[in-house]
Amino acid sequence: MAIKQLLTVARRSPIRLCLNQAIRLASSAVAAVSPFTTPVTSSHPLPQVMPYDNAAETVKSKLKKLENPELRFLKYASPHPILASHDHILSSPETRITTLPNGLRVATESNLSAKTATIGVWIDAGSRFESDSTNGTAHFLEHMLFKGTERRSRTELEEEIENIGGQLNAYTTREHITFYAKVLDTNVNQALDILADMLQNSEFNKERINQERQVILREMQEVEGQTQEVVLDHLHATAFQHTPLGRTILGPAQNIKSITRDDLQNFIKTHFTAPKIVIAAAGAVKHEEIVEQVKNLFTNLSSDSTSTSELVAKEPANFTGSEVRMIDDDLPLAQFAIAFEGASWTDPDSVALMVMQTMLGSWNKSIGGGKHMGSELAQKVAINEIAESIMTFNSNYKDTGLFGIYAVAKPDCLDDLAHAIMYAVTKLAYRVSEDDVTRARNQLKSSLLLNLNGTTPVVEDIGRQLLTYGRRIPTAELFARIDAVDASAIGQVANKYIYDKDMAISAIGPIQELPDYNWFRRRTYWNRY
């Protein structure tokens, strides 16, 4: 149509046709014929669109979707969460506790409708209570408890627990040693007898000790291949340097090669005392029967009243702002952890830090779903694809703690990821919405309940709480403490532990692009003008 108009005008007044009109008509004609040509609306040519302009527009559109989510998602999940009621928790099973004359505590939670039970021994001792020369003894001792007693050889011990279809396990942490058995309801007394025999009558045969050295050295090699374990061990080493809490649980290789039978027996004599031990049971158990069995079986324990709190007071865990970096270009991904000094188990701020941990959240690329999670940090990481995974952690100890984030990312994403993490963490000290806090409180309470599904998690909860709090906190009380945390409390705690505070950093892999310590330190506060 435009070409016809041009020809008509040219025929009617070929002399009066101005050049500009001809150009405009010709341009519109070409635009009508070719849809791939940009129409010319002025005498100045339009700038050429570059690829990075398109990339910027793409990111803007993603951020716009983040700020204004589609209604079809909000249709099924309200953006304004309501605090869930947990009044039904008041009817949860009672935890009964009996303290024997020698200081040994027995705690049970009965569920007579269950067909299984878990019985365990929790000892208030771990790698933290070792010296530099004996570091690794607690973990070594955990291994040796399974190598035979005066009544049962190693083979007899393994066959007896297998013949009743039971499971026997143990683990060592920086502050606790635990070993427990899970059995059918008809084998509870037999399992308790096995645990008492292992704790009091283990034979530390020199030949067995030498064999176990090689097993632990191989275990150390396996742990060194698990990058996350290496990063977190180095994080403790730099955060609590020159203190017992900075030592590893396995200990150095030279100690493993030199630990003797006397070292193991001295550790038992010093730390395996009745006031430091909790016998816990859950499931198909009766409290009176368990107490009576414990009185008859656990008769050789020392009643030394030296508490772990006194040992901690002699060598407290002082936090040091510092970093450790291990550049290894052979690793495909960079892994790093950033941590602030946290709260102890008994510190009232520990509950608020638990809520903050839930608010920051965790995310893994393999599970997806991050674009619509409640955590703003998880949303940014997922939408911009700047990490493979992130994990917020809150580790508590008797006198201190670690609160931080562990992340895995490609080398070219480290700068963006570091910025996103520090922005999300520092924002807790400045701007927190009640909706985010309510959502985190609901998530935290649900996760605590879900983690207590089964007799083994219940027993672990009982044993740990008796060693850390001196009692088991009822679920209703714990939930009330969580519900008392509001946006104001989050701001106060974040100002206490995060705002303008030193941090510890541990990183490994191709980390050349990870910002330096001063960069992170400057972003613990915002400059406002």
Reduced 3-state DSSP string for 162-195: HHCCCEEEEEECCCCEEEEEEEEHHHHHHHHHHH
Adjacent-strand bridge partners of 181: 119, 168
**Do residues 284 and 116 lie in contact, with contact meaning Cβ atoms separated by under 8 Å?**
yes
Candidates 212, 323, 341, 460; catalytic one: 212
* Locus of tokens 């030498």: 210
Spell out the SS3 assignment of 97-124: EEECCCCCEEEEEECCCCCEEEEEEEEC
Instruction: Tell me if residue 156 is catalytic.
Output: no
Cα diameter, the chain: 122
Q: Which helix (H) or strand (E) holds 222?
A: helix 206-224
Phi–psi pair at 499, nearest 5 degrees:
-60, 115
Whose tokens are 């495909």? That residue is: 332
- Distance, in Å, from the CA atom of 424 to the CA atom of 378, rounded to the nearest integer, reads 10
Question: Strand, coil or helix: what is 73?
Answer: helix
- In the sheet with 167-172, reading across from the earlier edge strand, the strands are 95-99, 105-110, 277-283, 116-123, 177-184, 167-172
CB 203 within 8 A of CB 268: no
36: tokens are: 């791939």
Whether 224 sits among the annotated catalytic residues: the reply is no
The catalytically annotated residue of 142, 175, 341, 376 is 142
d(CA 151, CA 199): 12
Q: Which amino acid is at 264?
A: L
Q: Which residues are catalytic?
A: 142, 212
